[in-house]
Amino acid sequence: MAAVAEQWRENRPTAGARVLRLGELWSYRELVYFLALRDVKSRYKQAFFGIGWTVFQPIVGVAIFTVVFRRLAEVPSEGVPYSVFALLGFVIWSYFAGSFGNASGSLVANASLVTKIYFPRLAAPIASLLPGLVHLTIGLALLSGLMALVGFVPSLAAPLLAVCVLWTMAVALGPGLLFATMNVKYRDVGAVAGFLTQLWFLASPVAYPSSLVPDAWRWAYAANPMVGVLDTARWAVLGTPRPGPEILVSLGVTLALLGLGLLYFQRTEREFADVI
Amino acid sequence: MAEAAIQIEDVSKRYLLGEHHGAHGTLSDAFGGSVRRLLGREPAHLPEIWSLRDVSFEVETGQALGVIGRNGAGKSTLLKLVTHITEPTSGVVRTRGRVGSLLEVGTGFHPELTGRENVYLNGAILGMRRSEVAQRFDEIAEFAGPQVRRFLETPVKRYSSGMYLRLAFAVAAHLDADIMAVDEVLAVGDAEFQRKCLGKMSSFEREGRTIVFVSHDLSAVAKLCPTAVWLDAGRIRGYGPSREVVDDYVAAGITPTAEREFSDRPDAPVAARSAAVRSAAGNAVASLARDEPFTLELRFVVRERVADLDFAVFMENLRGVRVLDEAWSETAVLERGAPGEYVARISVPPVLVVGDYVVGFWVGSAYDTLIYEEEALRLRLEGDAKGRRNRIVQLGLAWEVERVAEPRPSARRAEPLPRP
Ligand SMILES: Nc1ncnc2c1ncn2[C@@H]1O[C@H](COP(=O)(O)OP(=O)(O)O)[C@@H](O)[C@H]1O
Ligand SMILES: [Mg+2]
């Protein structure tokens, strides 16, 4: 038990950006896992809403999309049955929107931990990306059911969907970190994040294909990283046209936002326990 | 001499007020503020408070250090620095070995999860590996007691607060840390539980762990910790053998406060207006003769109807013993607290002993705490302690004495009993 051999660990004022202590974060991976597990369990313990709700939501969502976008606006769907086209978009978008929202609230939601326990603060927003995977999996199962029902054979590149999910996580985490940090000081940013998500939805090819956007605008459109994610996912699973070089813009913006989020988070991290 | 496990060098910690809990700004305020600052219309600094100022000391490996001091003295801040939860404003804190924090019982417990699930979750939060928790699970359940053990598969929201505490402390107590920082956790829980926790803490000490122990309970500090530090308004006022530090602390007493007005919080459903100690004549007094009755008075305003409005007033002596704690609900049937101004008075008969007291109060409902002022007033009762320092109340109970037998004839000369 005697700790004589141990290294001294210092707590002194720091200024500016800190280095990302990924090694330390790794040693707290079980905490990430348990925080995520806590959210999953507590969400699905209210059994009535749990699984039922998860299945109900995408079905109703796609039904509404079909009426509004397909019937009223006559949106095309790249030669794929519209329901399949829209469900894939809906499932990925829901995962993104949910994770972005969770990440934005992750520090405030864990305020009692932040003020009472030491842990790498990055564990909270990262853990908040995981519970949505349960939803996502159920949604994808639903999608396979629907594809079997309408007799649609998935493309051979379907396993690339896993990469798209990781990409979605990165898209949610960057802005999520920015909002989580601001949320610590200013509690009204939650509403801003909600509003932003709604605008973002309209600017993303969830219920419509990105081919609707005029060619001249495609590069600017791709500055929305979800354009890259959704186009790639549809190409991989449904065999829609392969995304052009503009997805590099999506990728670049994703990385830039993630970098910005991490930087802001690391700079402000030291104040969280005092201010939250 | 043993080597140090904690070194604290010239540590100061400043908090900016206005960043405090519940006083969160909004984005629009912030934008407005920075625009005004850019235009030079508003000073850029917020009022500040030095929660710790130039504090230095060391704790040796295996030593138990007690930390005492009044509310707001900086005790919790000290623990947050030792546990690396927050950074000092200046100075440096060094620790050696794994630091376990027990700043609050049950941090991170989730009501929907079962007892077993919470043990694992809480273990992970405190920095234990899953395998470590699994290995100690039986010990933890054993420590939490038979009642908790029977309900390990039940969500903890169904637990009584006692069971909840037992389980939470049990997890923390089995954390394999080299340094344990413990903050006021024993203030909650029943006497038996407190004894058990203290027992566990002395076993930490025997195992050679370093403990920093903050407590209101001065006798526990004196018993558990050979050394104590006394913080007063962020500075060290005493350091040394804990019995001496505790005695100095108690002897220093407090500055009496007879009456207090509270700043209004217009958005709160219930807000305190004032509190006072009044003599029989109705004057606000902070210092009274021990054998005089007095009245504690509390004014508050209810803005929104509160279901089952309740309030309580309590008095603590300087050793942290709560000598009085009276809730309205104990003598009255709770009703809906209709909006309006309230004055609540309670008369205290002359039963307390000579000494200094801190008066606090609570306003809430059967479900909620709306106001909690731990230290609203400070009261001094003067008079002759009659050399009986350990007594807590002096009830002046009447003896009934009679002589029940004559001395036997063989006894020496019978003495007449003195009459009272
Ligand atoms: N996060 C915070 N923001 C602003 N002020 C704080 C914060 N935490 C503590 N303080 C202030 O610092 C002082 C010391 O607090 P604390 O360390 O909690 O005292 P103690 O535990 O001895 O009662 C108090 O005046 C308190 O109001
Ligand atoms: Mg405290």
Tens-digit pLDDT string for chain B (420 aa):
568 999 999 999 999 876 444 445 666 666 665 565 555 554 556 678 899 999 999 999 999 999 999 888 999 999 999 999 999 999 999 999 989 888 887 788 888 889 999 999 988 888 888 899 999 999 999 988 888 999 999 999 888 877 888 888 888 888 888 999 988 876 666 677 778 888 888 888 888 899 999 988 888 888 889 999 999 999 999 999 999 999 898 888 777 788 888 888 788 889 999 999 999 888 888 888 998 999 999 999 999 888 888 999 999 988 888 999 999 988 887 777 889 999 999 999 999 999 889 999 999 887 788 899 888 898 999 888 887 878 889 988 999 999 999 888 765 555 666 665
Note whether B96 and B168 are same-domain residues.
yes
To the nearest whole angstrom, how far is the Cα of B63 from the nearest Cα of chain A? 11
pLDDT digits (tens, 9 = 90+) for B53-107: 999 999 999 999 999 998 889 999 999 999 999 999 999 999 999 898 888 877 8
Query: At CA B69, angle to CA B382 and CA B386, rounded to 5?
Result: 25
Q: Could you say which of B252, B273, B303 is where a domain stops?
A: B252
Q: Could you say which of B367, B382, B397 is where a domain stops?
A: B382
- Write the burial class of residue A273 (CB in 10 Å: 0-12 exposed, 13-18 middle, 19+ buried): buried
Note whether B215 and B66 are same-domain residues.
yes
Query: Cβ of A14 under 8 Å from any chain B Cβ?
Result: yes
All residues at 6 or more sequence positions from A170 whose CB lies less than 8 Å from its CB, including other chains: A254, A255, A258
- Write the burial class of residue B162 (CB in 10 Å: 0-12 exposed, 13-18 middle, 19+ buried): middle
CA distances from A208 to A86, B89, B204, B414 (A): 8, 53, 64, 113
d(C-alpha B134, C-alpha B144), whole Å = 15
3-state secondary structure of A36: helix
CATH of the domain at B79: 3.40.50.300
Q: Examine residue B103 and state whether it is found in any structural domain, yes or no.
A: yes
Q: Examine residue B167 and state whether it is found in any structural domain, yes or no.
A: yes
d(C-alpha A154, C-alpha B161), whole Å = 54
User: Tokens for A36?
Assistant: 């995520």
d(C-alpha B81, C-alpha B53), whole Å = 13
Query: Cβ of A1 under 8 Å from any chain B Cβ?
Result: yes
Partnered with residue B60 across adjacent β-strands are B4
Note whether B274 and B217 are same-domain residues.
no
d(C-alpha B36, C-alpha B171), whole Å = 50
- Above 70 in pLDDT, residue A3? no
Query: Cβ of A116 under 8 Å from any chain B Cβ?
Result: yes
- Above 60 in pLDDT, residue A1? no
> With the CA atoms of B105, B84, B181 and B362 taken in that order, what torsion angle do they form, in degrees rounded to the nearest 10?
-50
Q: Examine residue B77 and state whether it is found in any structural domain, yes or no.
A: yes
pLDDT digits (tens, 9 = 90+) for A132-191: 999 899 999 999 999 999 999 988 888 899 999 999 999 999 999 999 999 998 888 888
Note whether B273 and B146 are same-domain residues.
no
- What's the pLDDT score for residue B68? 93
Note whether B70 and B162 are same-domain residues.
yes
3-state secondary structure of B15: strand
User: By residue range, what is the domain housing residue B352?
Assistant: 259-382
Q: Does the Cβ of B187 fall within 6 Å of ligand 1?
A: no
Q: Examine residue B362 and state whether it is found in any structural domain, yes or no.
A: yes
Asked if B168 contacts B215 with a C-beta cutoff of 8 angstroms, the reply is: no
Note whether B246 and B279 are same-domain residues.
no
Q: Examine residue B130 and state whether it is found in any structural domain, yes or no.
A: yes
Asked if B157 contacts B106 with a C-beta cutoff of 8 angstroms, the reply is: no
Partnered with residue B276 across adjacent β-strands are B259, B297
Q: Examine residue B99 and state whether it is found in any structural domain, yes or no.
A: yes
To the nearest whole angstrom, how far is the Cα of A189 from the nearest Cα of chain B? 7
pTM for the predicted model, two decimal places:
0.79
pLDDT digits (tens, 9 = 90+) for A103-140: 999 999 999 899 999 999 999 999 999 999 998 999 99
Where do the DSSP E strands lie in chain A? 8-11
d(C-alpha B83, C-alpha B181), whole Å = 7
With tokens 């829980």, the residue in question is B189
* Helix (H) / strand (E) containing A249: helix A247-268
CA nearest to A36 within chain B: B121
Number of H-type helices and E-type strands within chain B: 9, 18
- What's the pLDDT score for residue A19? 74
Asked if B16 contacts B65 with a C-beta cutoff of 8 angstroms, the reply is: no
Classify B10 in phi/psi space as left (phi over 0), alpha (psi -120 to 50) or beta.
left
Tell me if A273 and B80 make a contact (CB, 8 A cut-off): yes
Q: Examine residue B26 and state whether it is found in any structural domain, yes or no.
A: no
Note whether B225 and B368 are same-domain residues.
no
- Above 50 in pLDDT, residue A49? yes
The secondary structure of B267-323, three-state, reads: CCCEEEEEEEEEECCCCECCEEECCCCEEEEEEEEECCCECCCEEEEEEEECCCCEE
Output the CA torsion sign for B67, B71, B77, B80.
positive
User: Tokens for A166?
Assistant: 């990781």
Nearest residue to B321 (alpha-carbon basis) of B286, B345, B356, B361:
B356
Q: Could you say which of B207, B227, B252 is where a domain stops?
A: B252
Note whether B272 and B373 are same-domain residues.
yes
First-to-last C-alpha distance (Å) of chain A = 35
**Does the structure's ipTM exceed the value 0.90?**
no
Q: How far is the CA of B74 from the centre of ligand 1 (A)?
A: 6
Query: Cβ of B157 under 8 Å from any chain A Cβ?
Result: no
Note whether B212 and B180 are same-domain residues.
yes
Average pLDDT, chain A: 90
First-to-last C-alpha distance (Å) of chain B = 60
CA nearest to A12 within chain B: B92
pLDDT digits (tens, 9 = 90+) for B101-125: 888 877 888 888 899 999 999 888 8
Tell me if B121 and A7 make a contact (CB, 8 A cut-off): no
CA distances from A152 to A64, A76, A223, A237, B379 (A): 21, 17, 31, 10, 82
Report the residue count for chain B: 420
All residues at 6 or more sequence positions from B159 whose CB lies less than 8 Å from its CB, including other chains: B115, B148, B151, B167
Note whether B203 and B72 are same-domain residues.
yes
Q: Does the Cβ of B77 fall within 6 Å of ligand 1?
A: yes
Q: Examine residue B51 and state whether it is found in any structural domain, yes or no.
A: yes
- What's the pLDDT score for residue B404? 92
User: Nearest CB to A14: which of B87, B97, B121?
Assistant: B87
- What's the pLDDT score for residue A2? 46
CATH of the domain at B298: 2.70.50.60
Name which of B86, B171, B182 to mutate to probe chain A: the one with the most chain A Cβ atoms within 10 A of its Cβ.
Answer: B86
With tokens 């079962």, the residue in question is B114
Note whether B214 and B264 are same-domain residues.
no
To the nearest whole angstrom, how far is the Cα of B94 from the nearest Cα of chain A? 4
Note whether B305 and B359 are same-domain residues.
yes
Q: Does the Cβ of B76 fall within 6 Å of ligand 1?
A: yes
The domain tally of chain B equals: 2
Q: How far is the CA of B328 from the centre of ligand 2 (A)?
A: 27
User: Using CA positions, which residue lies closest to atom 17 of ligand 1?
Assistant: B74
Partnered with residue B99 across adjacent β-strands are B179
d(C-alpha A168, C-alpha A163), whole Å = 9
* Helix (H) / strand (E) containing B264: none
